């Protein structure tokens, strides 16, 4: 187990320069794959080593640029929540990305597209990675104040509907 983990870390480390260069070449329709790359680096353990963390920053910088240039409306709920979660987990700065995501989710009323896990990931990611979007000041997002209210309402609705299903079909 330890050896395979080290092998994976070594493989991910060796791919950093290539991925930084090639991420923009992923097809625009491949949003989920982009989110998987970001997730892999966020959870790889490479970010615990300062040298690797600096190298991985390029993957996240390129990833943020790709997310923004492709348009967040092209990303399904899972790819969007996984990507934002990856940035927060990796402690990678992406204020512009988070502000655009808050606007996308609120203005297009997309919050109901997310699973309960996706909603939890969104709430956690925004609270960890982009608290300045919610504070008074120049970086405050116009959509941010409504975001947590919408996440809360959607989560409550989802839990309520699951409770009703369990009551109707207790054996299922």
pLDDT recorded at residue 80: 95
- The secondary structure of residue 135, as a DSSP letter, is S
Report yes or no on whether pTM surpasses 0.75.
yes
- The secondary structure of residue 163, as a DSSP letter, is H
pLDDT 10s digits, 35-63: 988 998 898 888 888 888 888 888 899 99
pLDDT 10s digits, 115-139: 999 999 999 999 898 877 776 666 6
Which residues have a Cβ under 8 Å from the Cβ of 84 and sit 6 or more positions away?
Answer: 97, 98, 101, 121, 122, 125, 126, 129
In this predicted structure, the answer to whether residue 1 has a pLDDT above a threshold of 50 is: no
- The secondary structure of residue 134, as a DSSP letter, is T
């Amino acid at each position: 187990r330890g050896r395979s983990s080290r092998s994976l870390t070594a493989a991910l480390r060796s791919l950093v320069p290539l991925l930084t260069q090639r991420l923009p070449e992923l097809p625009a329709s491949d949003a989920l794959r982009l989110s998987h790359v970001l997730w892999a680096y966020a959870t790889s353990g490479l970010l615990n080593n300062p040298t690797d963390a600096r190298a991985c920053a390029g993957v996240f910088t390129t990833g943020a640029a790709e997310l923004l240039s492709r348009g967040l409306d092209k990303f399904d709920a899972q790819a969007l929540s996984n990507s934002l979660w990856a940035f927060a987990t990796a402690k990678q700065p992406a204020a512009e990305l988070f502000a655009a995501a808050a606007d996308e989710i609120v203005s297009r009323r997309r919050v109901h597209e997310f699973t309960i896990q996706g909603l939890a990931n969104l709430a956690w990611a925004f609270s960890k990675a982009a608290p300045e979007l919610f504070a008074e000041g120049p970086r405050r997002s116009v959509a941010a104040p409504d975001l947590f209210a919408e996440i809360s309402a959607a989560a409550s609705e989802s839990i309520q509907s699951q409770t009703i299903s369990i009551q109707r079909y207790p054996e299922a």
